[in-house]
Amino acid sequence: MEIKKIGVIGAGQMGAGIAQVCAAIGKVVTLCDIKEEFVDNGIVTIKKNLERSVSKERISQHVMDETLSRISTSLLTTDLKNSDIVIEAIIEDVDIKKALFSDLGNICDPTTILASNTSSIPIGILAEASGRPSKVVGMHFMNPVPVMKLVEVIRATGTSDDTFDMTFKLAEDLHKVPVLVNDFPGFVSNRILLPMLNEAMFCVMEGVAEPEAIDTVMKLGMSHPMGPLTLADFIGLDTCLAIMEVLHKDLNDDKYRPCPLLEEMVKGGKLGKKSGEGFYKY
Ligand code: CAA
């Protein structure tokens, strides 16, 4: 079966990016969120990205209009009933995601694949909540989605060959490079990346160096495109904390203890770029 209709739940930076790349290859996309304002912001982000591509003469105005015309928005998950695949990209909270997968299991056609873009939560937990584990898979995109090539395709114990193969093929059709990863907390990307970001935060907390200095060390010394603290602000400090908490709890090892400075900043509403302040001001 070819995937033609795609539901994306969550119109934040990840969901909007996923909706954009899917529509760009001709898929019919429904972008769903809980508030009108959220879906509107998602569409604004997509328009801005496409306009940049038009201004750089990478795509024509006609292609931009066609891409946008393939994206509709909704506040109701029931509108995703007939989707071939639903890709979830909501807040990184295990209970909220479990409730959503349980709803999707009831709402969607039995053939619908349910994919999660979770950054760290084991797919098996969501698969169980859905009541249709063979149809559940992880599809972990990187931020910014239109730019980054990688998609981790996470295979849980119950994921069927068919579900895995179709998801892997969809990632290839999206001009991404899918990589098979088994179902462990944080997968590969965030199991390795987040402890590094967390360690950079410990360096700030302990006064090893100023944020700018830490970022410069990693950019110029290790050729990272962004320093770890800029990247943490870019990902969102609430998301970074949620991932560290999953690693800490599920891998049961204190080496994953979230940096207290990170916890304090999130409590104080400093969430990085999206809130206007994190390790830097925006
Ligand atoms: N959305 C869409 N496109 C974007 C973008 C965004 N938010 N930000 C930058 N771009 C595009 C730019 O338009 C530009 O495109 P063109 O080549 O068409 O001009 C291109 O990306 C390069 O951008 P810039 O020249 O402005 O800046 P840059 O060279 O510094 O690149 C970057 C920006 C691609 C974001 C680069 O800094 C980078 O690779 N950073 C690291 C990103 C990263 O590590 N992502 C993974 C995060 S972890 C994750 O996502 C997993 C998780 O679960 C938390």
CATH superfamily for 5-182 is NAD(P)-binding Rossmann-like Domain (3.40.50.720)
Spacing of C-alpha 178 from chain mean position = 14
Whole-angstrom Cα distance, residue 219 to residue 243? 23
Chain mean position to CA 272: 16
The token duo for 85 is 């695949």
Identify the active-site residue in 119, 120, 130, 198.
119
Q: Which secondary-structure segment (H or E) carries 145?
A: none
Is 189 assigned a catalytic role? no
Annotation says 62 is catalytic: no
Distance CA 190, CA 211 (A): 21
What are the residue ranges spanned by the domains of the chain? 5-182, 191-275
Catalytic residue among 49, 83, 152, 198: 152
Q: Which of 193, 199, 185 is nearest to 154 (CA)?
A: 185
Q: 30 burial class (0-12, 13-18, 19+ CB within 10 angstroms)? A: buried
Do 126 and 158 form a contact (C-beta atoms < 8 A)?
Answer: no
Which ligand 1 atom is the nearest neighbour of the CA of 49? Answer: 2
State the distance from the centre of ligand 1 to the C-alpha of 235, rounded, in angstroms.
11
41 is catalytic: no
Annotation: CATH topology of 191-275:
N-(1-d-carboxylethyl)-l-norvaline Dehydrogenase; domain 2 (1.10.1040)
Mean pLDDT, consecutive 10-residue stretches, the chain (282 aa), reads 95 97 98 98 98 96 98 98 98 96 98 96 97 98 97 98 98 98 96 98 98 98 98 97 96 97 98 97 98
Residue 243, pLDDT score: 95
**pLDDT value of residue 209:** 98
Q: Which ligand 1 atom minimizes the distance to the CA of 14?
A: 50
- Kindly report the protein residue whose alpha carbon is nearest to atom 21 of ligand 1: 147
pLDDT at 1: 80
Q: Which residues contact 156 (CB under 8 A, 6 or more apart)?
A: 122, 123, 124, 127, 133, 136, 137, 138, 183
pTM of the predicted protein model: 0.95
